[in-house]
Every structure is written in C-alpha cells, then in structure tokens.
Structure 1
C-alpha cells in the first residue's frame, strides 16, 4: 500500500541505525527471555513483549529504507516502537507492589498494595489504547487523519505522563517512609558492603527510578514530536528518534537485565518466608 497524499518521512530512514538497534534489542530481549524462563517471573511478560515490539519495529524501519512510501511498513514501525515503552511501564508498576509486599511494608504505601497494580496498569492500558488508536488513524494515509491521529497519540502520552508521575510520587513516598521506619524484613534483606551499588531492594528501587526517568524523557520527547505535527522540526530529523527513543529504551532493557527483579525478590542470599511468598503470589495473581 502506498500513499501520495503526504510524505511519510522527511528523510530516507537510516538502514545502518535501524539494523544496529534491531540487533541490540534482539540481544537484550534474548537475555530477558532466558531470565524469564529461569525465574518464572510472569510479571515481566509485558517487558519481554516490549522487547519483541522493538525488534520488529526497527526491522520494519530498516525495510522502510528501501520502501519509504509504504504505509504498511510505516504503520508497523511507528506503532510497535511507539507502544513498547507502555509495556515496559506495566512491568515496572508491578515490581513496586512486589517490593512493598516482599518487605512487609504495605502499611507504608501511599496506595493500598492490592489496588496499586490495578490502578497504574489500567492507566497504562488506557495510554496504550490511545496511542495505538492514534497510530492506526495516522496510517490511513491522508493529511487530515494524520493530524487527528497525532493528537490522539498526544492524549495517550499525556495519560502516560500523568500516571507515571503519580507512580514516581508513590515510589518516592514509600522509599522515604521505609527509610524513616524500616521493617524487619527490609533490614534483613539489606546486603552491606556492596559496590558500586547495593544488590538488594535498594538497588532494585534505584533501577526502577532510572528506568522511570528514561521513560519520562522519552515520553516528553514523543509529546513534543507529535504536538509539533508532521512538519515539525523534531519529527523531520531522524537523529532525535535514535537519541531519545531507541537509545533510552535499549538502556532501559539493559538496566533491567542487570537488576532483574527476580534476583532481589526471589534469591540474593535470602529466601522470603512463607507469609512473604504468599503475599508475592497474591500480588502476581492480581497483576495477571
């Protein structure tokens, strides 16, 4: 399918960059797949699917180098690359609830743990649907649908930023409270004299903060891109995509390879007692 009503790209998509990131995402996604199989961490399924989205998205972008007028290829790479971070966010939302349960610190959470995953993942799903709908509208190939689709995506990104901001506030509030009033479990699971970072719940929370910050940066970039429109400066320069989306999303996947939640929540020299394990299973069932 081709379109002559408007130009899909203001440049020829870079073959080298697209292939490079398709390979990079393939490597880190393969590691995540191995970690998923080894640890049975079901709550990281969305994250793994997000990696698959990136691989297919950048493979399609490589194909766009040879056929930059195909709306099918354009829609495929746009949608998958656009939606992958919402899948990352869904897994990160689930991780916070599991950390709180693991540390017996439900009383320190600003949001009841039983509602936490449902609230944030529901917001993530809404953002996912809006961005997906906007991308679908854009792919129809007319200038009017392009504008409508862009503003639907902007709405989805605003929803994502709203819920992500609330998630960060909830995370930071919990972190502050547990530092002021540590639970017995939080003290027991702290690994001392670890360098350059602690390999326990503190390091995992730090990784979640870093990942959240990178998703926020990427979302703000996308918000500016779509708000400017198809003739804007950002969307017409491919370098922005690779700096603020591809590179940041790849870094997110590598960070979570290094700080995979299962290492802290399931092992790390400390096995949770029966009550903690029951709480984790309950949270996992609610998040599925």
Structure 2
C-alpha cells in the first residue's frame, strides 16, 4: 500500500517526496519495521538487552556518585550526578523503546538525552580542575587566569554548547521535514565544534597546571601532599580524552547526513560502544578516583560570593560605627 503520510522517524527518508518512495510496513512483535518504511522509527533493530545493561550500569554509577557526594560532603558533585542520571534515564527509555518501536516518543526523547548527556560530564571536569588550581596552586591561577574565572568561563562555554546542541537535536527530531533535519544536523555539529574547541583549550590549561604540580612535587613545595593528586589529574585527562573521542565520533557519524543511507546510523553498536561506553568509563573512573579524595580541608572550594560580599560590607561599616561612637562620647564630655 502506498502511504500518503508518515509517522515521525529517527532517520529522514532520502527524499522529501515520502509518498512516492516508501510504504507502510507491518510491525513485528516489538514494533520493528525496515528503515525504509514510512512507519520506521529506527535505522537499526535496537537490542533491549544491550540497552538494559547500559541502563543498569549508569544507574549503579549514579548511586555511587550520589553516595560519594553525601559521604565526602561535596555539593558541587550534583553536576556529575545529573550527568550519570541523564544517561541512565536515556537508556531506560531506549530499553522501553526497543520493546515498543512504534512509539516515537521513546526514540525522540532518548535521542535528545543521548546527544546532550556528555556535556554534564564535561562541565564537571572543568569544575574539578578549577578547584584543584584554587586549592593547590600558590597563585590560585594558571596561565595568569584566576581559578574562579577559569571555572566560570569554561562552564559558560559548556552551557552555550549545550543550548546550541539542544537546538540542533530538536530540529533533527522534526522527521517531517528533510530541510529542518539537515539544518538541525548542521546546528548540532556547530555546537559540538564549540565544545571541542573549548575542550582542547582546557586540555592545554590542564597540562600547564599538571606540569606545575609535578615541579612542586619534585621541589617539595606543594602545599598539599595528598597521594591522590596525581591519580586524580590523570583521571581528568582520561575523561577529557574520552569526551574528545566521543565528539570525533559524532562528527564522523553526522558527516554522512541523517538519512537512512548513512551506514553508521544503521548500526546501533556504533552509538553504544563509541558514545555510551566512553561516557560510562568516564563516570566510573571518577567513582574510583573521586575528586573528594583530594578536595578536602581549608581552601578546597571556592568561597561563597555572599560571604565575600558581607565581609566587604562589614569592613566598610566597622570604621563608621567606631567614629559614631567616638562622636557620642566626645559630646557627653563637653
């Protein structure tokens, strides 16, 4: 039967004249139809066992990060908890969608979550290194950039990248329009490019900081002798490298377009083992060498801006109060 309309699909058909090039297929028990069918939501046959395994693994690392944040009293770790939870929820939806492949909501939402989840892990790496610089470096700066501004600048860049990638992902989800999907692909890749640009710069900053740490260790001038410092910095390097690998994969994946003719989009394994697995390794490595093992004691976190504001206000009011008291005492004497 020739279809006159189509349901939303993960892959855009090779031509916008859908009615003339695809047919509506009869779904199997899980709702699967061939990728070229009008009612196809997937370019591959999703395996619920693989997606369920990733959902469980991300769930475990989420629980571990939550417990570590509570035990080690590190409120800023809510960022990595969100990243792990985001991935877990994504794979729960993918697991459900594998058994109900005609439900376009599962594939649309899980795909958006999948595309954006690593940005949380990226932001956490920025926050950890900035705090290490503030905690360990005598000048609390690297390459003349203060640690606080380093954190604000790179996290802001990550947020911008998040917004751009989200906009691109939303456009790619519009499967009724080939033009919108292609525009979304370009917007998403631009956002990924912004992310890669700042990650590379941050790697340079981190290398400079690590070189200084090694020099301080050799000379014995490092003000904190925690044995977890070097392992933690190396783990952060691993996380950043895994993020770069994932970005490169996404560039290669979408360079072939978002149509059913893209061979990479026809195999789920590429997404699972070149995107999900690296992010799982990044989260698990931060469980093994948690930042809280190093960032503890006085100066381990940025002072609250409210505290700094109040100190400035109290310092300004104190002389005024003393002068006021002196004037009252002088008047009483007269």
- Compute the TM-score of the two structures, normalised by the length of structure 2: 0.75
Mapped partners of 1:89, 1:137: distance in 2: 23
Residues 1:85 and 1:133: Cα distance change in structure 2 (over 3 Å): same
Aligned position for 1:187: 222
Aligned position for 1:152: 187
Matched, 1:125 2:159: yes
Mapped partners of 1:229, 1:281: distance in 2: 47
Aligned position for 1:177: 212
- What SS does the corresponding residue of 1:13 show, helix, strand or coil? coil
Mapped partners of 1:57, 1:71: distance in 2: 14
Aligned position for 1:26: 59
One of 228, 234, 239 as aligned partner of 2:256: 228
Give the CA deviation at 1:3.
2.1
Give the CA deviation at 1:185.
8.7
Q: How many residues align?
A: 271
Worse-superposed segment, 86-95 or 96-105: 96-105
Report which of the two has the higher share of helix. 1
| 1:104-142 CA-partner distances (Å, limit 9, x unpaired) | 433650122121011100110011111111111112222
In the alignment, structure 1 segments of 5+ residues that lack a partner are 192-198
One of 214, 223, 231 as aligned partner of 1:203: 231
Residues 1:174 and 1:15: Cα distance change in structure 2 (over 3 Å): same
One of 269, 275, 284 as aligned partner of 1:239: 269
Q: How does 1:1-288 map to 2 (within 5 A)?
A: 2-3=7-8, 6=13, 7-106=40-139, 109-110=142-143, 111-142=145-176, 143-181=178-216, 187-191=222-226, 199-230=227-258, 231-266=261-296, 271-272=297-298, 276-277=299-300, 280-282=302-304
CA radius of gyration, larger in: 2
8 A contact 1:103–1:183 mirrored in 2: no
Mapped partners of 1:261, 1:187: distance in 2: 18
- What SS does the corresponding residue of 1:105 show, helix, strand or coil? coil
Mapped partners of 1:3, 1:242: distance in 2: 23
8 A contact 1:85–1:249 mirrored in 2: yes
C-alpha RMSD of matched pairs (Å): 2.5
In the alignment, structure 2 segments of 5+ residues that lack a partner are 1-5, 14-39, 309-334
- What SS does the corresponding residue of 1:106 show, helix, strand or coil? coil
- What SS does the corresponding residue of 1:254 show, helix, strand or coil? helix
Worse-superposed segment, 53-62 or 177-186: 177-186
Residues 1:249 and 1:107: Cα distance change in structure 2 (over 3 Å): closer
- What SS does the corresponding residue of 1:203 show, helix, strand or coil? helix
